[in-house]
Amino acid sequence: MKTKSIGDGIWVRETRRLRLIPYGSITHVHYSNGLSVVCMGKEILKKLTTPLNGLEKKMPENLFFRTHRNYIINKTYVSNYAPEGTVSLKSGEKIVPVARRRRRSLENFLSS
């Protein structure tokens, strides 16, 4: 599956059509078993072969943050940040790890 980023979302190729996944509906993206998994709360929108680095470059920097080598979060869905290294997301009550070296950057990102 190929992805393309234009405007307000990521275009994802499905079998015979393209589907726009709006940035605002993406709560987080995680990497698992060789696939980038795009999530909207508890719902998995799409599994992509595009690596997280590629998706991170396509996503707006003011909205998304890479907390860990396997996670990108959407700032608008963060409900709680624990300085010892976890972020809670509003929809789906997902707990996401934060790498030690990214904690200060995340604090600055969330406070801006």
pLDDT averaged over every residue in the chain? 87
Q: Give pLDDT tens digits for 57-100.
A: 989 999 999 999 999 999 999 999 998 889 998 865 789 999 99
User: Domains of the chain (ranges plus CATH)?
Assistant: 3-111 (2.40.50.1020)
Q: How does residue 112 score in pLDDT terms, banded at 50, 70 and 90?
A: confident
Residue 111 clears pLDDT 80, i.e. is over it:
yes
Q: Report the distance separating Cα 65 and Cα 76, nearest Å.
A: 11
- Highest mean predicted confidence (pLDDT) among 10-24, 29-43, 62-76: 62-76
**Is residue 5's pLDDT more than 60?**
no
pLDDT at 3: 53
pLDDT of residue 7: 66
Please tell me the predicted confidence (pLDDT) of residue 1: 47
CA distance 19 to 89: 25
Q: For residue 6, what are its two tokens? A: 């234009």
CB 14 within 8 A of CB 5: no
3-state secondary structure of 60: coil
| Average pLDDT estimate for 4-14 | 72
